[in-house]
Structure 1
Amino acid sequence: MTVHSSVGAVTQVVLLSDAQRENLPSTTPMANHRIPSFMAADLVIQLSCTLKTKPDRGSFGFGTVFTDHMLTIEWSETEGWQAPLIKPFGDLSLHPACSSLHYGIQLFEGLKAYRGDGDRLRLFRPMLNMNRMAAAAKRACLPAFDQSELLECIRRLIEIDQDWVPRSDSASLYIRPTLISTEPTLGVKKPSRALLYVILSQVGSYFDNEAEAISLWADPKYTRAWKGGTGDCKMGGNYGSALFAQYEAVDYGCQQVLWLYGEDHQITEAGTMNIFLHWINEDGEEELATPPLDGLILPGITRQSILELTRKWDEFKVTERFLTMGQLCSALKQQQVKEIFGSGTACVICPIGHVTYQGKSLKIPCQGENSTLTSRIAKELTDIQYGRTVSDWTFLV
C-alpha cells in the first residue's frame, strides 16, 4: 500500500512493509480473486493540504456538506481497473459526450457510518450494499468488481475522514458510492471506460421533522417502474424521472408519491422508500406485509433488516405479498389497519399518516398505542447502528 501524506506543501510518500500492512485493521471477507478487480492493497492516498471547517450541528441539510477526501477508481476495457486513489475532494472532469450524461449509464449506492458507543465507527450491513451495487453494475453493462475490495477502500476513506462522523445519535456520515460510464461517444453501446468514485457527506434528518407522519399522493397515471425494467436497481433514472410526480404530489398537499402499478393499483413504494403495512388481514391475522421483490421494488437493506428482525420476534405474521389500494381502502373502512410506514437508509423508519387517492383523503392510524411497532423497530435498528446493541450486522471501521 502506498500512502501519500501532505505536510504543508510537501507530499511525502510512505511505503508500508508487509508486516505493517498485516497490522492494519482488516474486517472484510477474503477477496474473490476470480473477478478482475482493483485491490485495496494497491490503494494510493493523497491527503489534502487544507482541511475544511466542519459546520455546526444542524447547519447542514441532507447531502450538502462533503468531507475533505474522496475515492476514485478508473476502469478501461483495455487496461482493466487502475489502482484505487483517495485524494482531496474535488470536481470530476468528464468528456461532453460522456454516455452517463446522455444515456444514464450509471448507478449509485447509499449507506451510512455511525459514531456509537466507545466512540467507535460502524457501518450497517455494508456487504449488502456492495452486493446490490455489483448486481446493478451487471444490469447497466458496467464493469464487475470485487465487493470486499471496494468495502475495504471505503473503510480506509472513512478512517481518513473519521472526524467528519458526527458525535450524535441523530446524525451520521452518508456514503455515496457511484459508478458511471465515461465512454466519450454519442453511440449507444456498452461502455469501454468507467469511473467508480465514493464521496462522503454529513447528514441529519432526511425529512424536516421525522417524528411526524408524512402524507402520500397515490395516482396510477404515473409509474415508477415496470416489469422487466430497472426498478430494482439504484439508477439515477429511477429518481430523476420521479420528480414531476413528486411536485404534483406537493400541489395536492402531500409530501411524497405512493407509487402504484397495474390495473389493480398495486402498492409498490412510497417516494424513495420501501413500504410496510401493519394490519389485520383478510383472514383475521395480525400481519406485517410489504410488496415482494418482483423487479419493481428496490431490495432495501433496511427493508430486509425489518423482515429478518420481525420474523425473529415470531409475534405476528410477516409476509412479502402484493397489496392493492382496494385492499387498503377496505381495511381502513373496517378499521383493520394498525399503521403504515416507509423504510430506507436515509430515513430508517418513516410513519405515514395520510394517503390521497381518487379524490379522497385516507387517514392512516399512526398515533398512540397503534404506533408502538414503528417505534420499536426504529429503536432496535438504531440501537444496532450506533452500537448500543451488539450485532453481527455492524462492521467496525
Structure 2
Amino acid sequence: MFLSLLQPVRMTARCVRSISSFRADDLHITLTDKPKPKPSYDNLPFGGNTSDHMFEVDYTPAMGWSRPVIRPVEPLQIHPAAKVLHYASELFEGMKCYRCVDGKIRMFRPMENLERMERSAVRAGLPPYDRFEFLKVIKKLINIDQEWVPYSDRCSMYIRPTFIATEPSLGVTQSTDAKLFVIAGPTGPYFKTSMKAIRLLADPQYVRAWPGGCGAFKMGSNYAPTVAIQAYAQREHNCQSVLWLFGDDHQMTEAGTMNFFVFWTNEAGEQELVTPPLDAGLILPGVTRKSVLELTRQWNEFKVTEEVIPMGKFIKALNEGRVKEVFGSGTASIVCPVGQILYQGQELHITDTDDIGELTQRICHDINEIHYYLKPHPWMESIDIDGDESLRTVTAN
C-alpha cells in the first residue's frame, strides 16, 4: 500500500492537459513599490527572511482554479472557519535554488519535490493541478526575486510551496476549497552548530510516525507534535534534536526533520551505508536522502542498503567498534553529522569530537559542488524559461 502511494503520479501529455489547473501564462503580476533591504550573508539564519514577492492561487468547486497571481508578500485572507485552522489540512515542500559559479540560478531537483507534494495532496484530499505549470510559476517567482538569491557559496534561497484547505466549514470532511501559495527567501545553515556533530535524544515514549499514518507525507501535522519534544531535548538534555524510534525493537527512523544514515562495518565484515526503508510508511522520502543513495551507489565503493536499524543492533555494532559515522540528511541541512545519542540513560558516543566524518564530509562536498555547478549535473535545473517570452519578461500588470 505505502509503496504504491509513494510512487510518483505518471501522466501522459494528454492526461496533463485534461487536468483542471491554473496556467503559468495566465499569471497576473504586481511588483512591489517598497522593496525590502537584503540581509547580510554573514550568519544568515535559516528561514528568517522572505523575499519581496509571493505566488498565490485559489480553488473552489464552482470556479475551479482562479487566475494565479504573483504579488508583494502580505498576510493571507482566510476565513476563521477554514479547515486548515481546525483540522490541520495542510502540506508543504522545502526546495532550494543556488547562484552558481557561472552566474546562473538553478534549482536542485525541483520535480522530485513537486512529485512528493502531489502525493501528499492526494493523501490530504486536496485538489489536483498540473505540477509542470506549477514549476513554471515557481521559476517565475524566483526570476522576479532573483536578487534575493545570495551571492554566496554558503547560502541559498529556500522556497516554501504550501497547500492549505480553506473551506469555511467546521465539519470533519474533505475540503472543497483550497489555497496554494509559495514564499521564498535567502537562508543560511539549518543548525547553529553548522557542520559540527550534533547530539540526539532517543526516547521510545515519543513516536513520530506509525504504519498507516502520514509519516511518509510532508504535512504540517507531522511536525507540530514534535516541536515540544525537540524543545525538551534541548532544554533538559543539551541535545540539538531527537532521534525518533518506533516499535518494540526501537527502530531508528528519523533524526529530527532529517532522514537518518549509519555508516558501519556490518556483521558480514562489509563496509555499508544503511538508512531505514520507505516501505512501512514511517519515513519521509527525502530528496536529499534519494540523492545520497544514488550518489554513493554510483561510487560503488561500499554496500548501500535500505533496511530497518533496531537500537539493539546499532548498540552492538557501536560496542564492537564497527560504527564509523552517523549523519542526517535533508534539504535544509544537506547532511549533518551525529556525534552522540542519549538513549535510556546511556551516552552512546559515535565520536568524541565535533569534526565531521570523512564520508559525511565527502557527501557534503560532492552535493555542494553539484548545487553551485562546480560539477555540472542534470540534478540542477535552470530557472530560465525557454520559449516563453511572457514568462521571461518581468512586468507589472
Q: Structure 1 length as normaliser, TM-score? A: 0.91
1:272 aligns with 2:253: no
What amino acid is aligned across from residue 98 of structure 2 in structure 1? Y
Query: Contact 1:98/1:181 (CA < 8 Å) preserved in 2?
Result: yes
Q: CA deviation at 1:368?
A: 9.7
Pick from 235, 238, 256: which aligns with 1:253?
238
2:386 corresponding residue in structure 1: none
Q: Deviations over 1:152-174 (max 9, x none)?
A: 10000000000000000110110
1:345 aligns with 2:326: no
Q: Deviations over 1:193-221 (max 9, x none)?
A: 10000001110111112221000000100
1:200 corresponding residue in structure 2: 184
Q: CA deviation at 1:60?
A: 4.0
For structure 2, which runs of at least 5 residues remain unmatched after alignment? 1-11, 384-397
What are the equivalent positions in structure 2 for 1:112-261 lying under 5 Å apart?
112-250=96-234, 251-261=236-246
RMSD between superposed Cα atoms in Å: 1.5
What amino acid is aligned across from residue 312 of structure 2 in structure 1? G
Q: CA deviation at 1:380?
A: 0.7
Pick from 288, 300, 308: which aligns with 1:322?
308
Query: Contact 1:179/1:197 (CA < 8 Å) preserved in 2?
Result: yes
Query: Contact 1:100/1:182 (CA < 8 Å) preserved in 2?
Result: yes
Cα distance in 2, alignment partners of residues 58 and 370 from structure 1 = 22
Cα distance in 2, alignment partners of residues 396 and 184 from structure 1 = 39
What amino acid is aligned across from residue 261 of structure 2 in structure 1? F
1:286 aligns with 2:276: no
Q: Deviations over 1:334-358 (max 9, x none)?
A: 0000100000000001000000001
2:391 corresponding residue in structure 1: none
Cα distance in 2, alignment partners of residues 39 and 225 from structure 1 = 36
- Secondary structure of the corresponding residue to residue 241 of structure 1: helix
Q: CA deviation at 1:366?
A: 7.6
What amino acid is aligned across from residue 312 of structure 1 in structure 2? Q
For these two proteins, the number of residue pairs brought into alignment is: 369
1:380 aligns with 2:374: no
1:392 corresponding residue in structure 2: 378
The change in CA–CA distance for 1:165 and 1:366 in structure 2 (over 3 A counts) is farther
Q: Structure 2 length as normaliser, TM-score? A: 0.91
1:355 corresponding residue in structure 2: 341
Sequence identity percentage: 49
For structure 1, which runs of at least 5 residues remain unmatched after alignment? 1-28
Which runs of 4 or more aligned residues in structure 1 lie more than 2 Å from their structure 2 counterparts after TM superposition? 365-370
What amino acid is aligned across from residue 248 of structure 2 in structure 1? E
Query: Contact 1:338/1:366 (CA < 8 Å) preserved in 2?
Result: no
Q: CA deviation at 1:53?
A: 1.1
Cα distance in 2, alignment partners of residues 366 and 144 from structure 1 = 49
1:66 corresponding residue in structure 2: 50
Cα distance in 2, alignment partners of residues 155 and 231 from structure 1 = 29
Q: CA deviation at 1:149?
A: 0.7
**Which structure dedicates a bigger proportion of its chain to strand?**
1
